[in-house]
Amino acid sequence: MIEKQSDNLDNLAGNVSEEVNKNEDSSIIENQTSEDKQSSEVDDDNLYAEDLKNTITNNDARLEQLEKEHETLKSQYVRIAADFDNFRKRQSRDQDDLKVQLVSKALKAILPIVDNFERARQQLKPESEEAQTLHRSYQGLYKQLVEVLKQQGVSPMRVVAQQFDPKLHEAVLREPSQEFHEDIITEELQRGYHLEGKVLRHALVKVSMGPGQENSQEPEEKDKVEEDINSENPISEEN
């Protein structure tokens, strides 16, 4: 009886020992699994961090490249816009110049008609009532012509008593003058005109050589000059 009890106790102790060993083994396995899991999580975190770092680096490089491309495209756009603006201004300027040239050509053809009107106005001296009526009609036509020229931007030059300027005037004659200083215009032979501030036709003028030119010459020199002038063929009035 006692032996059986002893055997039972031994069996019980063995079972307890085996159970304890199993529990210890299970605990070790669980701890190892937990450590492996933690290690795996750490490795995953490290890989994720490394991937994130690489992604950020790649994005920064791509952003820098895009910024450079943007600056290049912006510079090209600014240059193209400036070139187009210059082209537009040049085209507008060329069109304006062409318009002025065409208008100038047409107005130059009209100016001789204006000259004839002015000469006729100076020569006509109406006496009879019929002649006065005709003269008034002529004056009306002349005023209309002048008004049309004004509307086109044409304005006459005022040259008498002005300083001679080769850009505006063309000197036909030069003669001594007691009234005007040298290079002062004494008479207008043909009226000059401006068109929008530019010369449409130069004025034909007579220019002073200044006072005392005749008296400064010696008698012999004056006689020789007169002989030279008299020896030249006179210009006919038709010319």
pLDDT value for 56: 87
Average pLDDT over residues 24-41: 62
Provide φ and ψ at 172, rounded to 5°: -95, -40
Contact of 200 with 108, CB cutoff 8 Å:
yes
> Does a structural domain hold residue 174?
yes
By C-alpha distance, which of 159, 172, 165, 237 is closest to 204?
172
Average pLDDT over residues 19-48: 63
Provide φ and ψ at 191, rounded to 5°: -70, 140
- Residue ranges making up the domain that contains 195: 155-225
> Does a structural domain hold residue 181?
yes
The pLDDT tens digits of the residues spanning 66-105 come to 888 888 998 899 999 999 999 999 999 898 888 878 888 8
Judged against a pLDDT cut of 70, whether residue 111 lies above it is answered with yes
Question: Which residues have C-beta within 8 Å of that of residue 204, sequence separation ≥ 6?
Answer: 169, 170, 172, 188, 189, 190, 192
Weakest-pLDDT range from 11-15, 29-33, 99-103, 167-171 = 11-15
Q: Which secondary-structure segment (H or E) carries 171?
A: strand 169-175
> Does a structural domain hold residue 160?
yes
Per-residue HEC secondary structure of 175-229 comes to: ECCCCCCCCEEEEEEECCEEECCEEEECEEEEEECCCCCCCCCCHHHHHHHHHHH
The length of the chain, given as a count of residues? 239
CATH code of the domain covering residue 205? 2.30.22.10
Contact of 195 with 154, CB cutoff 8 Å:
yes
pLDDT value for 31: 61
pLDDT value for 186: 93
> Does a structural domain hold residue 35?
no
pLDDT value for 168: 93
Pairing of strands 198-201, 193-195: antiparallel
pLDDT value for 10: 56
The pLDDT tens digits of the residues spanning 150-172 come to 998 899 999 999 999 999 999 99
> Does a structural domain hold residue 85?
no
Judged against a pLDDT cut of 70, whether residue 226 lies above it is answered with no
> Does a structural domain hold residue 179?
yes
pLDDT value for 190: 93
Average pLDDT over residues 115-133: 79
Contact of 134 with 155, CB cutoff 8 Å:
no
Judged against a pLDDT cut of 70, whether residue 200 lies above it is answered with yes
pLDDT value for 212: 59
> Does a structural domain hold residue 195?
yes
Burial degree of 220 (CB within 10 A; 0-12, 13-18, 19+): exposed
pLDDT value for 166: 93
The total of structural domains in the chain comes to 1
Predicted structure pTM score? 0.53
Using only C-alpha atoms, the chain has a radius of gyration, in whole angstroms, of: 56
> Does a structural domain hold residue 62?
no
The pLDDT tens digits of the residues spanning 134-150 come to 778 888 888 888 899 99
Contact of 224 with 191, CB cutoff 8 Å:
no
Q: Which residue has the higher pLDDT, 131 or 206?
A: 206
